Amino acid sequence: MAIKSSYELAMEKLAAKLPPTGRKLTRHQKARLAKLESIYTAKIAEEELTLKPKIAAARAKGDAEAAQKLEETLRAQIQKLRSKLETEKDVVRQSK
């Protein structure tokens, strides 16, 4: 058995995350994926609309520390929502 390169290992991990080749998504799955994408895009926009004005206000006051904390909160919320989206999309892809 030969030692695998990091490229080969990365490609194996990627292949494991992707849906099996040759398996096509049904019309229902495609519609559900599109709906999930729409829902989470709206949730991310909502977070941005809530926090960006607060960030701008903190900067206007000269409170860089508060602005940075709010930016970190925004990034964390967006990452959390994107992670939930991917989890839900994986469930849809795995369903029949």
Q: Is the dihedral of CA 77, 78, 80, 81 positive or negative?
A: positive
pTM: 0.72
* Token digits of residue 15: 């292949």
Domain extent for 61: 47-96
Would you list the DSSP string of 32-53?
Answer: HHHHHHHHHHHHHHHHHHHHHH
* Residue 30: per-residue pLDDT: 92
pLDDT one-digit tens code per residue, 46-57: 999 999 999 999
pLDDT one-digit tens code per residue, 20-51: 555 688 899 999 999 999 999 999 999 999 99
Instruction: Count the helix, strand and coil residues of the chain and give each as a percent rounded to the nearest 5.
Output: 80, 0, 20
Is 90 part of a structural domain of the chain?
yes
Is 9 part of a structural domain of the chain?
no
Domains in the chain: how many in total?
Answer: 1
Query: Is the model's pLDDT at 95 over the cut of 90?
Result: no
Is 3 part of a structural domain of the chain?
no
Contact 95, 29 (CB under 8 A): yes
pLDDT one-digit tens code per residue, 67-82: 999 999 999 999 999 9
Is 38 part of a structural domain of the chain?
no
Is 72 part of a structural domain of the chain?
yes
How far apart (Å, rounded) are the C-alpha atoms in residues 17 and 94?
11
